Amino acid sequence: MARFLAGRLLMGLLAILATTVAVTLLIHLVPGDPVQIMYAQSQGTTPEQLAEMRHMLGLDRPILEQWLRFVLHLLHGDLGVTIRGQQPVAQLILQRLPNTLALAAASMAIATAIGLPVGFAAAWWRGRWADTALMTVAIAGVSVPHFWLGLILMSVFAVQLEWLPVGGTGWAGLVLPAATLGLSNAAIVARMTRSAMIEVMSQDFVRTAYAKGLLRALVLRRHVLRAGLVPVVTMMAMQFAYMMGGAIVVENIFAWNGIGRLAIEAIFQRDYPVIQGFILVFATTVITVSILLDLLYAVLDPRIRVRG
């Protein structure tokens, strides 16, 4: 168990370190002069000002030194300042990160609450009309783009019925974005749950349970459900990453003030320090959550602990 945990932590740290390298190189991959592009939108910058900015961003140093400085500053919680407004990037991102995490968590709760029972029901009635009907809805759900679903929900519940705000902060503002992301992903969770349950149903210990004369309902509840939930939990790590990715788009539809909206604004404004900080924070969040879920997995499934 300790070795398993140590290995996961080491991999996570290496991945974050690799991200810092990628983020340092990112600015140099920009075709043309990044400093000029960043300031293209503000008029009347003299070559002296550009040179000063280049020096301030550290772009006139060797790349290795730039990376070391980036990591060193990162260890002090410093991600630089925004190009426009000179605000500290770390502060800006940390202010907005809770909003994105709240959206991702609420969506995941909705997706699980719908997807898990639907997937289990489909597996229970496998091959019958209920299975076909549920899975038809699920594949249609997987195919609907979440930005379209978001617009439809907004049109119906915010514009026509006026039950909820079109966008904004607070709990009322969270309902529509979370429903959009949650419903889209419920279909994916349902499909994954169904195949995980069916996989478990074909295993020897399930046949043994039947052979000793247990009722189908009892076998499904006691053996299949428990064993089938383990792979579903591991898939949650991937689901969380999807939620974070989906949040970037959905935040922009509903003007939800998370890091996704910040990132898109930064891309338009060519505010590279913000983009760098966003990528790093996004990656770190995804890695951290996946390690936490791996731990949960190990707790749920004793087989992992013994092997580890």
Q: Which residues bind another protein (CB under 8 A)?
A: 15, 18, 22, 26, 29-31, 37, 126-127, 131, 139-140, 142-145, 147-148, 151-152, 154-155, 159-160, 237-238, 241-242, 244-246, 248-249, 252-253, 263-264, 266-268, 272, 275, 279, 282-283, 286-287, 290
Shortest spacing between CB 212 and another protein, in angstroms: 26
Minimum Å distance from CB 287 to another protein?
7
Which is nearer to another protein, 52 or 243 (by Cβ)? 243
Of 79, 78, 76, the closest CA to residue 23 belongs to 79
Nearer of residues 155 and 226 to another protein, judged by Cβ: 155
H-helix segments, the chain: 2-29, 34-38, 47-56, 63-75, 89-124, 129-143, 146-153, 170-201, 204-211, 216-219, 225-253, 259-269, 272-300, 302-307
Nearest to 301 by CA among 205, 238, 234, 222: 234
Q: How many CA atoms lie within 13 A of 223 on its CB side?
A: 20
Minimum distance of another protein from residue 105's CB (angstroms): 17
Residue 5 or 214: the one with the smaller Cβ distance to another protein is: 5
Give CA–CA dist 167/234, Å, rounded.
Answer: 33
Which of 127, 149, 146 lies closest to 260 in space, CA to CA?
146
Rank residues 172 and 218 by Cβ distance to another protein and give the closer one. Answer: 172
How far apart are CB 278 and another protein at their closest, in Å? 8
Closer residue to another protein in complex, CB, 152/172 = 152
Q: Is residue 177 within 8 Å of residue 251, measured between CB atoms?
A: yes
Nearest distance from C-beta of residue 30 to another protein, angstroms: 5
